[in-house]
């Protein structure tokens, strides 16, 4: 399960992203400022905890990038050039602003507050995340929530901006920043009417003779295979049915109406207790979803 923020990455001719170049330049400016204030590479290197050779190389790279000499070096001391004095004034301001921004963000992580805008699949939000959000809200009373619900396919492409997207499945776009959160157990369910008419499968290998409601991650894609397992036993089933959907709520509703067997995550205990659904192959056999994101 990955949390995703959309930060496009642009590559230069050397295959280095613009973000990486900006971060390196900011660090080089910080190193240059330290040398300029100490008037010595040796003293600055000692304060920074860097080898003098590394510090000298990074400052030289910075000078090449701006196309001007910033420091006059001698065996006894280091002096600023005219360009170096102007550049130092700007560097100190930029480095200070970056430090303030960093400290403000660290303060936010200490006590979250404000509006959190989240995109996620509708059924997953209802079945799994609603209780988690409620618990989070009790721990962090200063956070308010704006939850945008969509189908699995469109959860990360709704029109409104968001701070966080929770997506189920593999992450196809490497330009996104993502974090794996976990896996979701998927169990098999069907209605009593369907099982009375079609029989109760004793083992997943018998599912090929049943109507299995397919699940599609993409609107025009093929249904996802069901990877089923029990302890050391594993079996992969391709659902065969007249129905395939890309939203778990619809799969659940079709199963309740007797259309076939559905693979559902989350808590279905209320539907089981009411008799609307019955778990199929309950002896420890389940499917695990792809990584959620």
DSSP assignment letter at 14:
T
Q: Convert the pLDDT of each residue in 225-271 to its tens digit.
A: 777 776 677 777 787 778 888 778 888 999 999 999 998 887 888 89
The confidence score (pLDDT) of residue 8 equals 39
State the average pLDDT over residues 34-63: 89
State the average pLDDT over residues 127-152: 83
CA–CA separation, 59 vs 87, rounded Å?
13
The confidence score (pLDDT) of residue 276 equals 93
Q: Six-digit token pair at 227? A: 């990877």
pTM: 0.53
CA 230 to chain centre: 29
pLDDT-based confidence at residue 290 (cuts at 50, 70, 90): very low
Domains and CATH numbers, the chain: 16-109 (1.10.10.10), 112-167 (3.40.190.10), 185-288 (3.40.190.290)
Percent above pLDDT 90 for the chain: 11
Neighbouring residues of 169: CB distance < 8 A, sequence distance ≥ 6: 152, 217, 289, 290, 291, 292, 293
Torsion of Cα atoms, 270 then 276 then 282 then 285, to 10°: -90
CA 5 to chain centre: 6
Write down the number of H helices and E strands in the chain.
9, 15
Neighbouring residues of 62: CB distance < 8 A, sequence distance ≥ 6: 25, 28, 29, 31, 32, 70
The confidence score (pLDDT) of residue 221 equals 61
Cross-strand pairs, 261: 212
* Cα Rg, the chain, nearest whole Å: 29
- Yes or no: say if 129 and 256 are a contact pair by the CB < 8 Å rule: no
CA–CA separation, 236 vs 207, rounded Å?
11
- pLDDT, greater one: 126 or 290: 126
């Amino acid at each position: 399960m990955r949390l995703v923020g959309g930060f496009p990455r642009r590559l230069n001719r050397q295959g280095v992203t613009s973000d990486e170049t900006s971060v390196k330049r900011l660090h080089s400016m910080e190193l240059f400022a330290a040398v300029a204030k100490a008037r010595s590479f040796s003293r600055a290197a000692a304060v920074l905890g860097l080898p003098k050779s590394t510090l000298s190389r990074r400052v030289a790279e910075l000078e090449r990038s701006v196309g001007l000499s910033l420091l006059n070096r001698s065996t006894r001391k280091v002096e600023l050039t005219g360009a170096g004095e102007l550049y130092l004034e700007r560097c100190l301001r930029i480095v200070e602003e970056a430090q303030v921004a960093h400290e403000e963000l660290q303060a936010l992580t200490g006590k979250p507050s404000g509006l959190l805008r989240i995109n996620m699949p509708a059924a997953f939000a209802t079945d799994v995340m609603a209780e988690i959000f409620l618990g989070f809200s009790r721990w962090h009373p200063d956070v308010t929530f704006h939850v945008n619900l969509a189908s699995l396919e469109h959860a990360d492409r709704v029109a409104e901006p968001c701070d966080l997207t929770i997506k189920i499945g593999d992450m196809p776009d490497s330009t996104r920043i993502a974090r794996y959160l976990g896996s979701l157990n998927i169990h098999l369910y069907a209605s009593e009417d369907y099982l009375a008419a079609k029989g109760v499968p004793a083992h997943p290998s018998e599912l090929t003779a049943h109507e299995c409601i397919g699940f599609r991650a993409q609107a025009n894609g093929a249904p996802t295979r069901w990877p089923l397992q029990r302890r050391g036993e594993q079996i992969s089933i391709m659902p065969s049915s007249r129905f395939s959907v890309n939203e778990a709520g619809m799969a659940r509703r079709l199963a309740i109406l007797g259309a076939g067997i559905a693979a559902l995550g989350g808590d279905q205990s209320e539907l089981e207790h009411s008799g609307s659904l019955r778990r199929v192959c309950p002896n420890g056999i389940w499917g695990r979803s792809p990584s959620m994101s």
